[in-house]
A = this chain, B = another copy of it.
Amino acid sequence: MNIGEVAERSGIPPKTIRYYEDIGLVRPQRSGNGYRAFRETDLHKLAFLGRARALGFSIEDCRNLLSLYEDETRESAQVKTIAEEHLSAIDDKIAQLQEMRETLSHLVEACHGDHRPDCPILKDLSGDAESIR
């Protein structure tokens, strides 16, 4: 398989696949013409990567997950640990975003949003605490 077909079938753009090779996540062979020659297992790895990335795992997490994936003697606890840490990172991020959302939506509601210059959003950002809350 050439890179185009693999990209098509894995859903990962060619550029990204080349990048993944650069950083050692996949190691396709080469044909005589210098083209990358992907096997089915490469395709599977790329699809695996795509799904793990879609779940927000970092590249380093993916590297570890991939090596666990290929390690028949792995312990599921190792995988679970990575996933749990990622899950709690996601929770933190959600909490942080929700806090932002909270403040910001109050500000947006308080701003009449017309042609006048008076604006509670700017007032709050300028440190004028009495603006909202």
Q: Give the nearest-CB partner of A120 in chain B.
A: B76
Query: Of B65, B77, B104, which contacts A86 at CB under 8 A?
Result: B104
Q: 0/1 per residue, A94-127, Cβ < 8 Å to B?
A: 1001101101110110011111111101101111
Decide if B86 touches A122 in the complex (CB within 8 Å): no
Decide if B47 touches A113 in the complex (CB within 8 Å): no
Q: How far is the CB of A8 from chain B (nearest CB, A)?
A: 16
Alpha-carbon distance between A91 and B97 when the two chains are bound, in angstroms: 8
The winner among A71, A94, A112 for most chain B CB atoms within 10 A is: A94
User: A125 contacts which chain B residues (CB < 8 A)?
Assistant: 48, 51-52, 55, 65, 69
A59 close to chain B: CB less than 8 A: no
Alpha-carbon distance between A55 and B91 when the two chains are bound, in angstroms: 18
A30 close to chain B: CB less than 8 A: no
A132 close to chain B: CB less than 8 A: no
Q: A90-B101, A104-B90 given as contacts; is B48 within 8 A of A79 (CB)? A: no
